[in-house]
Each structure stands twice: as structure tokens, then as C-alpha cells.
Amino acid sequence: MGWKITDMPRMDGRIALVTGGASGIGFQVARELGARGAQVVILGRDEAKGEQAVAELRATGGDFRFEQVDLASLDSISAFAARWNERPIHLLINVAGVMALPEFARTVDGFEMHMGTNFLGHFALTGRLLSALRAGQARVVTVSALVGRWKMARLDPDDLQGENQAYSPMGAYARSKLADIMFAVELQRRFAEFGITSVAVDPGTAATNLQRHARGATRSVGIWLSNTIGYPLDRVAENVLFAAIMPEVASTTLIGPSFFVQRCASPKDVGLPPLAKDSSVRDALWAQAAALTGVRFGSGDATRRA
């Protein structure tokens, strides 16, 4: 048998931030970390929903609190980072996201909503918290998706918003999730020597509210996959938690289910999609993200490629 959530070690004394921790995979991740002694801070856009989630989590025991952060707003991200005041962070779990919005939409900063929230928001948040992450010798786990490994996930750093092509809900989502993989890989390459480790993870399929925007065939297929091959609720956080504690992390690591029928799977390194292996594309993506968000990572951001 492979690794299971019950194999998780104690996390006493560690501070963990979980974006999207008010529901779905993020909620399950937060619950398991708190159950093992971590101080868990849930980050989310909806304060009422976040406080309700914290109340539910506290009822199970553990140290939880909520902080308001809208990943679709660079101002909101900056405001939170300023409030954090560089206290050490030991785990940053980038879970939050939007999926398959039926129509093209933009964030308040003008970014396409999938790319702006799923990738650029997490890029900016991680960069704004860099000092705290370095102080805590942190592990950063960035959640992608199976679709980020599919052929439909095409990414052009010069057209991150997808403005030069017809809008496709799943295509936009896939691009953002491929970008998340490439960000995690590049973060590991640039900052491992500074004490930060970074892992990308495909959490697998489960029935969560991430699919609430999907319509028609996309929604039907998602529900079928969740019910047929997906993880049961008590295991939906398995791959993310393994990525958070696995001892050895390479710059090419992508954790995901070991088997197509995920309820029979365990976490393993499933390998990068071809485009994520291209260092020139990763560099271009990083440069574009820095230019669009105005976030420069500082020390380590210009380290020479091995």
C-alpha cells in the first residue's frame, strides 16, 4: 500500500497558510494540518464563509483562524502581506481557484479570471510573503489539475490572457493550471538554495464546489469522473498533504495520483508535462508574471541557471 493521510506526522509549532481553505480540498487540507498540531490560517475572499469554516474546524479541535484575501485583486494581496508583518511561515498551500467560467471575465486588475486568480494571484501572494517564507524555511505547495497535463493546456507567455484566441472555459482553466505547474517548478529551481522548497501537485478528481461554474458537457463529465474514479471526501487532500511533507523534492517534481482509478491510487511523482520542462518558456512566464503583477521576488530571482 502507498502513502495515506494516516501516515502524516505531527505538525506542532508550524504555521500553515491555506488559500481556498473555506471549502473543498482546501478545507480538508486545513482540517488535517490542524488535527496534527499546526496553526492554520485560512485565506479567502468571502469573510462570512471563511469564519463559518473556521468555526466548523475549531469544533473538531485545533488552532484555526481566517484572513481575508482576494486572489483576484493585487491590492488585496498586498494588504494581507503587509498585515502579516513577516512572521515565519512554514507551509503555504496554494489551493484556491476558479474553473470553467462560462464566459470570458477579468479580475479587477484586468487579467483573464482563470489566469489572474489561479496563477497570477498565487504568484503575487507567494512573492509578497517571500521574507516570511524564507524565515520559516517553508514548503510551498501549488495545486494544479489533471487538465494542466493535457494537450489542450497550451500556454503562450506573450498571450497569457488568451486574447488572441477564441475563449474556451476549459482551455482557459487548463492554461492557468499549466502555469501553476511551471511556477512551482521555477520557484523550486530559484529558491531551493535559500531554504524554500516548492512542489506542484495534481490533487486528482473529487466532487467539490470548484466545478460550480461548469455547464453542459463539461459539468456532466466532471461529475461522472468524480463519482466513477475520483477520491472519496476523506481522501481528497491526500496528494496535497503528501506534497507538503515529502522529504525529497526535485525541480521536476509533480505529485499526482498513481493510478487512473484514483480511489485505488496513492501519491507519486507523475512527471511534468512537456512544456513545463522547457526552461525558456518557464523563464518567459516568470518574467511576464513579474511584469504584470509588479512583484519581484528579490534574492534568488536572478540566480544563474545550473
| Cα 14 from Cα 93, distance rounded (Å) | 13
| HEC sequence for 27-60 | HHHHHHHHHCCCEEEEEECCHHHHHHHHHHHHCC
Helices (H) and strands (E) in the chain, counts: 10, 8
Phi, psi of 45 (to 5 degrees): -85, -40
**Which candidate in 80, 173, 231, 286 is catalytic?**
173
| Cα 23 from Cα 28, distance rounded (Å) | 8
- Could you confirm whether 231 is annotated as catalytic? no
Closest-CA residue to 45 (of 82, 81, 72): 72
Joined grid coordinates for residue 73: 485583486
Cβ atoms 102, 169 nearer than 8 A: yes
> Which residue type does 31 have?
R
Secondary structure (3-state) at 164: coil
CA 134 to chain centre: 19
Which residues on neighbouring strands pair with residue 66, listed in sequence order? 42
Closest-CA residue to 258 (of 229, 233, 234, 220): 229
Distances (CA, A) of 184 to 57, 116, 189: 28, 16, 9
As annotated, the active-site residues are 173
